[in-house]
Amino acid sequence: MSTRNVYLKMKTLEEAREILFTRFSHITSLPGETIPVPDAVGRVTAEAVSARLSSPNFHSAAMDGIAVKAENTFGASETRPKQLIVNKDVFFLNTGHVLPKETNAVIMVEHVNILDNNRIEIEAPAVPWQHVRKMGEDIVATELLFPQNHIITPYCVGALLSGGIFSVSVRIKPRILIIPTGSELVDWNDSDINELKPGQVLETNSFVLGKLVESSGGVYERHDKINDDAGKIKEALLKAVKSEYDIVLIIGGSSAGSEDYSKSIILETGEVLVHGVTIMPGKPVVIGAVNNKPVFGIPGYPVSAIVAFEQFVHPVICKMLGQPEKERQRAEVMPAKKIASKLGVEEFLRVKLGKVGNKVIATTLPRGAGCITTITEADGIIRIPNHIEGINAQEPVMAELLRPLSSINNTIVVVGSHDNTLDLLADRIKARHNNLTLSSSHVGSMGGLMAIKNGVCHLAGSHLLDTADGSYNVSYIKKYLPDMRIKLVNLVFRDQGLIVARGNPKNIKGIEDLAREDITFINRQGGSGTRILLDYRLKQTGTDPKQIKGYDNEEFTHMSVAVAVLSGSVDVGLGIFAAANALHLDFIPVVTEQYDLVIPELFFETENIKILLETINTADFKKRVEELGGYSTKKTGEIKTAS
């Protein structure tokens, strides 16, 4: 009978790391191997390296000109020029040439008057070693070039070769075996994604972790995936720790489920040091020792796996290479809104960052440990300590940067309603100006206006319908941003409607059908333009929202609504045609609406916003928008003052 694991004594991150390094205090830097210098970039020196040659290994000319003995030139002046005999007193030579014996200076050719083939004239004396690269000027034979545990860079290659070092002893790369486990896993390289069955998951974690191993300075091998079979996992682990591997990672099976075997297998074959750490994501990590080697049970959720690797595996690899842990650049940021957090848990919060005015604004990404895009889209990580319940809006906090600060400072921050054309706009801006990024966060149209009011974005996407006169956005801007001068730029007109499964199996015809007992609906969040449109149409049709099954079930983007319909978890949602079209769903038109960009005049004349507006007005952008379906660009780029 299957049994479940229980997190009996979870450790804090600090405690878990201390346990790890205390248990493996015997781990020292790995021994060296000798490789050619050109192949050693990125490797760590296993021993000190001293020069065998001086560089240069002769006195050489640093300029084109004549070599002289400086003492023979003393007394020369404009009024009393001195003549010297070629190939006796002076010798013509080019930069880099060996200095002739008994000469010790070079006079630049521009300062030489050539009288004939045998005589030259100078009007100023030379000083000893003028324009000469002395022997050993750069490197002196026997001097230390690089100490032990030095990372070799491309620059180092030049110094090593110049110093007569053609091969170098570098630390052997730590060898890590990665074992993916789980009966639900499917190998991406031998599967047809169109034939994936419900419950099946593409196995990607091993490749992500493998590349993290390489970026840390190690080398990895991937074991064939193993189903949830404790015996086979145990066999693979025992074989690994008895071979050349330095570390073993078992992916999956580290949590508390009945088929999570990592803890029990490590316990059977060695010792479990830690099971469960009070971090989020990454809580289920297992730290163990088998055959005196570190073995980690890595959580199956992608972000948890990454955090667990960075906090525990990466430091061990660094220790084996004689290196300190790599620290990310940090910067002070301001959260765009209040961020709640759970006491007793240290949270690694992924955020988007952009400089608005003189502040770097942080907008939170979804917190799900299974969402790999919350790492790929993140610009930084805010670590919320386990002793506080959250962070107040615009309270300065430090963030670890995942992108250079220069890139973050050159980001257009968009907050507001979601639209697929924003992704297209971001791509077109990046294609035309690769140093500029557009970052959008989806909080609904009203959320976008509040973000502008609070000064935490450059612009907002909005499609707020004034139910009194059928206009869009202007009345809301006047009401909620009365003291700000605002420009409205039309991005698109778009078709909003009901997204339903292919073939419309429930025969849904319009808004009034949402109240049917056999219909399950998915809504957009309160404050979004789509929600306002829905409530307006419900009122028009006399439909009570309480009659709609799923009215309180909310999503934040049109694509999330479409995916919910595609999955079969709901029958219908209100969204844009482009979202339905992208996932090959059917669409029942409700209205063609106006989607605008709301831009404070404070930013309107900035260079980045000018680039954005230029991009919107290109024929290429408009063509690509039209190709998405359900859009009109007839007024795209039109500007008007809203307040």
Amino acid identity, residue 375? I
pLDDT at 7: 56
Average pLDDT of the segment spanning 198-213: 94
Q: Is the pLDDT of residue 303 over 80?
A: yes
What angle is formed at CA 630 by the lines to CA 498 and CA 413, rounded to 5 degrees?
A: 95
Average pLDDT of the segment spanning 623-633: 96
Percent of the chain clearing pLDDT 70 (strictly above): 98
CB atoms within 10 A of CB 153: 13
Q: Are strands 486-500 and 631-632 parallel, antiparallel or unpaired?
A: antiparallel
Mean of pLDDT over the chain: 94
**φ and ψ of 430, to 5 deg:** -65, -35
Measure the CA–CA gap between 171 and 146, rounded to whole angstroms: 14
Terminal alpha carbon distance of the chain: 69
pLDDT at 191: 72
CA distances in angstroms from 611 to 359, 428, 493, 616, 626, listed in the order given: 21, 11, 21, 9, 21
**φ and ψ of 626, to 5 deg:** -60, -35
Q: Is the pLDDT of residue 93 over 90?
A: yes
- Residue 162's pLDDT band (cuts 50, 70, 90): very high
pLDDT at 581: 95
pLDDT at 2: 45
Amino acid identity, residue 530? T
**Which residues have C-beta within 8 Å of that of residue 489, sequence separation ≥ 6?**
596, 597, 599, 613, 616, 637, 638, 639
Query: pLDDT tens across 129-152, in order?
Result: 999 999 988 999 999 999 999 999
Average pLDDT of the segment spanning 161-188: 95
Beta partners for 589?
Answer: 497
Tokens 């694991």 found at: 5
- Residue 199's pLDDT band (cuts 50, 70, 90): confident
Measure the CA–CA gap between 150 and 495, rounded to whole angstroms: 60
As given in the structure block, the two tokens for residue 305 are 């796996």
Name the nearest CA neighbour of 459 among 415, 504, 512, 503.
415
- Measured in whole angstroms, the distance separating CA 279 from the mean position of its chain's CA atoms is 21
pLDDT at 42: 96
Average pLDDT of the segment spanning 462-488: 94
Measure the CA–CA gap between 105 and 134, rounded to whole angstroms: 10
- Residue 259's pLDDT band (cuts 50, 70, 90): low
Listed as own residue / partner, the contacts of 93-97 with beta carbons closer than 8 Å and 24 or more positions apart are: 93/61, 93/64, 93/65, 93/66, 93/67, 94/61, 94/64, 95/61, 95/62, 95/63, 95/64, 96/60, 96/61, 97/60, 97/61
pLDDT at 8: 55
Q: Is the pLDDT of residue 172 over 60?
A: yes
pLDDT at 557: 92
As given in the structure block, the two tokens for residue 218 are 């190690």
Measure the CA–CA gap between 509 and 514, rounded to whole angstroms: 9
pLDDT at 256: 55
CB-CB contact of 504 with 620 (8 Å): no
Average pLDDT of the segment spanning 111-125: 94
Query: pLDDT tens across 397-434, in order?
Result: 999 999 999 999 999 999 999 999 999 999 999 999 99
Percent of the chain clearing pLDDT 90 (strictly above): 88
SS3 content of the chain, % helix, strand, coil (to 5): 30, 30, 40
Amino acid identity, residue 65? G
Measure the CA–CA gap between 297 and 257, rounded to whole angstroms: 14
- Residue 370's pLDDT band (cuts 50, 70, 90): confident
pTM of the predicted protein model: 0.87
Strand (E) or helix (H) holding 246: none
- Residue 1's pLDDT band (cuts 50, 70, 90): very low
CB-CB contact of 206 with 306 (8 Å): no
Packed helices 262-269 and 230-241: angle between N→C axes, nearest 10 degrees: 50
pLDDT at 541: 92
Q: Is the pLDDT of residue 258 over 50?
A: no
CB-CB contact of 303 with 281 (8 Å): yes
Domains, the chain, ordered by start: 13-27+174-320 (3.40.980.10), 32-55+138-171 (3.90.105.10), 60-133 (2.170.190.11), 344-409 (2.40.340), 460-641 (3.40.190.10)
- Residue 261's pLDDT band (cuts 50, 70, 90): confident
Query: pLDDT tens across 232-257, in order?
Result: 999 999 999 999 999 999 999 766 55
pLDDT at 15: 97
Per-residue HEC secondary structure of 340-401 comes to ECCCCCEEEEEEEEEEECCEEEEEECCCCCCCCHHHHCCCEEEEECCCCCEECCCCCEEEEE
Packed helices 420-432 and 607-616: angle between N→C axes, nearest 10 degrees: 110
